[in-house]
Amino acid sequence: MKTVEKVVNPVKRAGEQSPGKIYDEKLKVRRRREWRGVKDTFYDYTRWLYLMSVLGRFIIVPRNIKGFFRYRWMMSYLFVPHGMDKFTVGLRDEALRIAHTSFNFVIADVTQAIANCFRGDRRVGNDKAYSDKCVITDENSMVTFMMGFDTDKVHTILREVPTMFASNIFHQFNVMHYLDVAQLNGIAGDVCPMPEAEAGISIDDDFCVLGSCAVQNNTTCDGSLMGNGIIAKRLERQYGIPTFQLATPLRHKEPDVLEYAAEEIKQAIAFVEKHTGEKWNWDTYFAAAKRVNFATKCRIAQMEINSTPYPQFFGAAFSLYNDTNYMGNSGRMPAFVDIDKKLLALAEQGYKAKRMYAKEYRHRCIVWGVQPQYVIDMLYWLVQCWGVVPLTDMLSVINTDMIADEDTPENREQAYRDMAMLNMEMIMRNHTHGGYKVLLDELWELCEKMNADIVMMWEHMSCKALTGMHGMFEEQARERGIHIMWVSHDLCDPRVFTRQAIRDQVNSYMRTVMREEPLDPSLENIPDSEAY
């Protein structure tokens, strides 16, 4: 079997050595916050103050209070600091700053998204003039078709992000109600809980209602299509919001699908123009395209650092930041550029100083498959408990090509193809669709490039897109001498697999197959399965 060189951290971690002690089975939150030494505890405290100020500024607006008491999913946002703490357990120095810089920005962005939803919502803010300039977009859609609309004239509302996706990060039980609603209304229980919860939110009438129109995408699976159908039906028939179906080809590696996909993008843009009354602006588009390219360059640089013995930016924060920047933003907001620069500077600084997340790196790991790592602090746990470094995850392995960013007549035609390519190869869809080459071959190439000896395969119980390839993964990993560690979960339904049940699969593998002892035994069993 393949092995990698062990890297030992010569520097003892400041503050407490066993963060497992901060958990308490009698509480639904942590007993206390972690002592990280004076410097890092003070930094963490100032970031907590910042988060409190973000939440405080949000809730002093009367319509946001109204929205808070109207929508069940808003309860999750009471636990934002708890969710943030989940992604900083055991972190020090640059790693702590990287997690805060990226995740705090995501939180501020989601808070703004909720405020925008409430402003236009017919039940809460009911600002009709604002709502008429809003376009609801699919959570699983890359919003490239909005890149050429001026952000002060047309507002992109990713309604499902604050309602379902982000709310589940802060409170693991909060979408269970919507899963129950969906199943009580006859939706099968073996569908992916993410689109099923979104369908449940629509059935339960718990989505904000706003916008002049909506755009949905046939992403990323059968469950997603089912959920979109239910949501579109209510949007169109009950609320009179016309909904465009952006039919994106699944075989995105085949060159002959590109023209069709580009035509679909043109149709989506024309649909938005028709319903908002605003025109596509090529200056706005190419400025956004430059920012998309910059984000791509920064992500490539981060991945290159992660290919060295001293990876810096990984884990849930890396994945979530990429999700927000690449898919939700798509170059539209200039503020991401500064954050990209800051994150890269921190990673380079950490790399030069040879900073490590744990006292020892024993294995280098690629995390593959449909991941639940937002509801659980799994990737940081993996490195600190077992010394297994999660170099990158499947959702962060996305486009590396540059798109046309100079305004010329040829590039205006190329732009449709670029938007189509980005949309076809967006997060999740680029590996779960497109054949075994994108799911299997690219994984082994990545193992080679990043010098990984373990693949942690997330096996999502309700995901049909990946389970069919179980045997091929096993066979090909064996041929290459790579350890493959299967970890089952059911995404956002903690009743099927609790957090500890997920971790126990790794614990068993590391003890029985790898014959190893944990780096930090206080983390092997954590009583947080009932915690928010």
Partner 1 sequence: MKKLAKIPLIALLAVLGFFVVTFTIYFFNLDMKATSLLAPYLQKWYDKMEHDHYL
Complex with partner 1: residue 141 or 168, whichever CB lies closer? 168
- How many Å apart are CA 339 and CA 345, to the nearest integer? 10
Closest approach of Cβ 355 to partner 1, in Å? 24
H helices of 121-208, in order, are 128-131, 160, 166-170, 176-184, 193-203
CB of 172 to partner 1, least distance (A): 13
Encoded one letter per residue, x for contact with partner 1 by CB under 8 A and - for no contact, window 139-178 reads --------------------------------------x-
Q: Which of 428, 429, 435, 406 is nearest to 418 (CA)?
A: 406
DSSP element (H, E) containing 451: none
- Cα separation values, 254 from 101, 249, 257, 500, Å: 38, 9, 6, 42
Stretch that binds partner 1, among 23-31, 97-105, 255-263, 290-298 (CB under 8 A): 23-31
Q: What is the DSSP string of 349-369?
A: HHHHTT--SSSEE-EEEEEEE
Closest CA to 265 of 273, 255, 254: 273
Q: Does 82 bind partner 1 (CB under 8 A)?
A: yes
136 forms beta bridges with: 157, 214
185 binds partner 1 (CB under 8 A): yes
- Residue from 105, 326, 473, 532 touching partner 1 (CB under 8 A): that is 532
Cβ nearer to partner 1, comparing 41 with 112: 41
Q: Which is nearer to partner 1, 236 or 407 (CB)?
A: 236
Residue choice 4, 14, 15, 33 for contact with partner 1 (CB under 8 A): 33
Measured at the CA of 509, the angle between CA 508 and CA 515, to 5 degrees, comes to 95
Task: Output 236 or 348, the one with its CB closest to partner 1.
Answer: 236
**Residues 41-80 contacting partner 1, CB under 8 A:** 41, 45, 48-49, 52, 69-70, 72, 75, 78-79
Please answer whether residues 362 and 68 qualify as being in contact, where contact means their C-beta atoms are separated by less than 8 angstroms: no
Task: In whole angstroms, give the CA distance from residue 462 to residue 480.
Answer: 28
Q: Which helix (H) or strand (E) holds 383?
A: helix 378-386
- Among the listed residues 63, 122, 234, 359, the single contact to partner 1 using CB under 8 A: 234
Could you tell me the smallest distance in angstroms from the CB atom of residue 185 to partner 1? 5
Give the angle subtended at the CA of 252 by the CAs of 249 and 258, to the nearest 5°: 70
Residue number with CB closer to partner 1 (186 or 255): 186
28 binds partner 1 (CB under 8 A): yes
Residue 213 and residue 271: Cα distance in Å, rounded?
8
Closer CB to partner 1, residue 238 or residue 408? 238
Of 50, 85, 66, nearest in space to 169 by CA: 85
Options 117, 147, 230, 428; binder of partner 1; rule CB under 8 A: 230
Q: Which CB sits closer to partner 1, 203 or 262? A: 203
Nearer to partner 1, 243 or 371 (CB): 243
The answer to whether 206 contacts partner 1 (rule: CB under 8 A) is: yes
Pick the closest to residue 316 from 369, 385, 356, 367 (CA basis): 367
* Residues near partner 1 (CB under 8 A): 27-33, 41, 45, 48-49, 52, 69-70, 72, 75, 78-79, 81-82, 177, 181, 185-186, 202-206, 230, 234, 238, 532
